[in-house]
Structure formats: structure tokens, C-alpha cells
A and B are shown apart, each in its own frame.
Chain A
């Protein structure tokens, strides 16, 4: 099967900082893929490169077998395949527009009658447990957990085949986190979507992802199927990450 995303030999520097150092990986269609690693290891940069928001110094990114192009037209077309959920969802929502306006834009992008978009939106809001009244609010009027859901709703409204989420549960309480992750898993299965999750939470990645990559200082230090990676990590840094994770010990 074709890969949803494939990256080969990606390299990128910001001045002295090597943000991506020869990163290669392949994400099979319809699977969940985890990207883990400490802050500054290059996870968000990798996501921006996949989205075409960040040019690489060297290397290639392919989405569904097609090489990434940086033209405006290509960026627009790609939005229908690949949707991001950024780490700070409130910041990625325009502060001056009501959430209804934000959602309405999708009709224009998809060239779809507004009524059809709103009908699909109704279903999505329902599934996300968001009240319809939220559409009349401005981004600053809603809670952090709700802003994340709104960002997810907007992404899903675009009918993407690939969803890529940067730390979707950071800062959420464990119960709220679980709720959101259950939801993402449900949607992924129902829509047969490819889901890429950037997370520093190893326990979460172990449970939701089939495959994962561990990043450190711009390098992909270890990658492969999650079960064997967690059972017998080959890389010293992966082992360090795993052993640092607080355990719920029961004597």
C-alpha cells in the first residue's frame, strides 16, 4: 500500500541549530503514528515540513506518493488531504472571528454549498460533545479543552485523509485527555484516516500508535512498531525515556 507520508533524508538548520538531521520515515495509510522526544528535538519542525510550511535544506517529503510542492495552489490542494491540529489551538483560531465564521470558510475552500457544510458540522460537533451555541462565541470565550475540540472540528470538516496533531493533550487533565484520545481513535477508525500524533506522553503513544519514531536533537534515534520498541528498546535514549516515566507502583 502507498504510504500516507514518507520523508527521506530530511535536513534543516536554523543558524547553528540542527533541527532535522537526516530524518527518514514512512507512515502507512490508515495507521496511527507517534512522534515522541524531548522538547527541542525537532518534532514540530518535522510537522511543519510535512505540512509544507517549512522548507527543508535537503531531503524530500511525499504525501500519498506525491512530492511536496510549495506553490500556493499546491498548499491549498493539500489542505483537503492533510489537516493539522497545532499545539496551541486557541492561537491558531483567528481571535477576531466568531467560530461560525471560521467553520463557514471551509465551504468556500471545499467549494461546497454552505448548508451542506453546516449539516456536516452539526454531526461533527455532536460527536465532539460541543454545544451548537459555541459557534456564536469568539475563541477567547471558550476553555482550553473546548478550543482543542474546535480546532479538531475545523480540521475534520475539511474531510482530510491525514490528521496530524501536535501535543493534542498537553496540559489537559488525565480524564479529559482520555476522552479526547478515545474520540480521535474512533474518528480515525470510522473515517479510515491516517493519524499522526506528536506527544511527549510515552504511555499514550504506546496505546494508540502502531508505529512511532523517537526524536532527539533532530535525529530519528529509533523507529519501528511500538510493541517491540517499548518491549526491547534498542537505543539508549529510548531506554532512558522509558525508565524516567513515573510508574504507578503497587507493592
Chain B
């Protein structure tokens, strides 16, 4: 069953001002699909995740938004709207696995707790067996011994595997992973990503992968949504967006990536990195027109005054971007 988020807007209230962190964000993820949500730091990626999980900071206010998860609608402007889904239906992997783990309980206790919540009245022995099996599935060596260990006895990669095992046991409809591998080494990153993919394959859940790495998106995701300063500027399948970026920002982001097979030029001045000049707009006062105006390399007069609607890119119905250059094309 598909997951959707409609018109999500979130404000953060500071003492005298209000930061509009998200403006009318919509997302859709098909069952068994992995959607990559990308954007620079501060663009609002974690705010999307927290709004869905009901984990927003106290000074946050959801001003609009509904989510459809598991066939039911949730009004996200209501606090704790998705509380019934936490731990059963929805699971989250954070960049720091310790946010999901309790330092004073053993791995086994925490895994069994997940099962106790999902299958109340179940048999403790059966739960232990299932927990051990989950640890084996995420390729943690020696699952029996791990069950008795505390989080601090494990490495960062192993802890993240435990969190994935917890997600696996909760059999979510939607798994949200917020920068799950950012703190890990590249070889461990690849292993953890493979575990997330295999979790998806096993339970067929939808996955929202939040990352600033386009490399991870193109390698592991089916679809991509590009966030900039709290607005979604483009969405489509990874293939569509990569082959024909509809928004200049998306194109520039891809141009910034350094490909591993890019060879060093003998002439040192050729070894330049592409950058996007300029800075994120003021979060307190949205400039008029296109949010990316001012940093865009192909903007024209109307971009300063007209907020672009979303237009289809090419003839694909499921590939859209908010750029005036697409109007009437």
C-alpha cells in the first residue's frame, strides 16, 4: 500500500520570529519502494521525518499536512497524530543509533520489547528466538552473545545493525532512515545500505531514505525528491531525474558530486570542484518568486516575482519540477 504526505508545512517559533522550515511538502512512496529525500543541511529533511514520527521539537508547529499510511489518514497538525503507528507500522533509523537504543538495557531486552509491543501475549521464548534470528538476518556475528551485550560494547556499525534488526522485528509499513550511514565508514555504509534494502525486500515496506549523498540515492533508491530551503523543487524516478533534471538546482547538485572515477588532470588548475555560489535564503523571510532565484544560473526576470507551480518534466506524469522554464514546454 502506498504512503503519501500531502501539503506538509512546519514552522519553528523562536522568541520573536517564526522560521518556515517546510512549505507545502508532498511525498509519495509506493509499497516496497525506496524514496531518497535529498537536500543540503538545513533544507528541512529531518523536519519531514520528525513531523511524520511525531518527534518535533516543542517550538515546532505543523500548520498543514496529512499523511496516508497503511490505508489510513492522519492529520499531522494534531500533536501525536501518528502515535498509534510508532513502533508498529512506522520505524525510524537515526544517524546516531544511540537515539534508538537504551544504554541501560541489553540488546536482547530491547529487541524483545519491540516484539512484546507488536505481539502482546506472545511467548517470551519465541520472542528470544525471533530476536536472535533478526540479529542473524542483519549479519551480526554471534547473535546469542550479542543478545546479552549492552550498546556500549558494540561498534557504531554494529549498533546501527541492532537498530535495523529492531525495525525488522516491528514489521513497519513505513521505515524512515535519517542519514543512517553518515557517521560510518564507506565499507560499513555499503553493508548497512544493503541491510536496509534487504529489510525492504523481506517485509515489502516503503522506505524514506534521508540523505545528502546523491551517490547513495542513485545506487539504492527508486525515486527521489529534492528539497531546498523547505520546498520540494523536483521529484521523479531516480532514472528520470538523473537523465533529465527538471530543476536547475537538481542539475547543479548532481554537478557538485565528485565521481570516484574522475581522473586527476596533470594540469592542476583543471582539478576544480563544482560549487553552487550563494547561500540558503533567510528562513524567516521567504524572498518573493522562485526560492532558488539568486543562486540559479539560468534565471530570468519573472523568477524574481512569480512562485513557480509544479510542471511535468518531459512526458512522464510522475516527474515534476517547480521551474518557470518548464512552463508551456
Contact = CB atoms under 8 A, between A and B. Distances in A.
A101 to B, nearest CB: 27
B242 A244 contact: no
A142 to B, nearest CB: 14
A178 B239 contact: no
B243 interface: yes
B186 interface: yes
A247 B218 contact: yes
Interface stretch (B18-26, B164-172, B266-274): B266-274
Contacts of B259: 203, 247-248
Given A39-B185, A185-B268, A206-B260, A250 B242 contact: yes
Interface of A is mostly: helix
Given A185-B271, A207-B271, A246-B215, A178 B256 contact: yes
A87 interface: no
A109 B253 CA distance: 43
A177 interface: yes
Interface string B18-62: 000000000000000000000011000000000000000000000
B212 interface: yes
B215 A206 contact: no
Given A200-B185, A245-B260, A248-B257, A208 B271 contact: yes
A249 interface: yes
Contact of B186 (A176, A189, A202, A230): A202
Interface residues of B, number: 39
A103 interface: no
B327 interface: no
B142 interface: no
A165 to B, nearest CB: 15
Nearest to B189: A244
Interface residues on A, range: 35 or more
Contacts of B254: 248
Interface in B236-272: 239, 242-243, 252-254, 256-264, 268-269, 271-272
B271 A249 contact: no
A227 B263 contact: yes
A173 B228 CA distance: 13
Interface string A213-251: 000000000000011001000000000111011111111
B274 A247 contact: no
B15 interface: no
A174 interface: yes
B212 A226 contact: no
A85 B254 CA distance: 29
A180 to B, nearest CB: 9
Nearest to B266: A227
A248 B271 contact: no
Contacts of B219: 246-247, 249
A242 B262 CA distance: 13
A230 B258 CA distance: 14
Interface in B192-230: 212-216, 218-219
Nearest to A181: B273
A178 B274 CA distance: 6
Contacts of B273: 177-179, 181-182, 207
Contacts of A204: 258
A245 B263 CA distance: 15
A136 interface: no
A189 B219 CA distance: 36
Nearest to A38: B185
B83 interface: no
A175 interface: yes
A177 B216 CA distance: 18
Contacts of B302: none
A204 B260 CA distance: 8
Interface of A: 38-39, 171, 173-179, 181-182, 185, 189, 200-204, 206-210, 226-227, 230, 240-242, 244-251
23 contacts: A38-B185, A173-B40, A173-B41, A174-B256, A176-B275, A179-B273, A182-B275, A189-B269, A206-B263, A207-B258, A207-B262, A227-B264, A244-B190, A245-B186, A245-B260, A246-B213, A246-B215, A247-B259, A247-B261, A248-B218, A248-B254, A249-B218, A250-B218
Given A181-B273, A246-B190, 8 more contacts: A174-B258, A182-B275, A189-B269, A242-B260, A247-B261, A248-B214, A248-B218, A249-B218
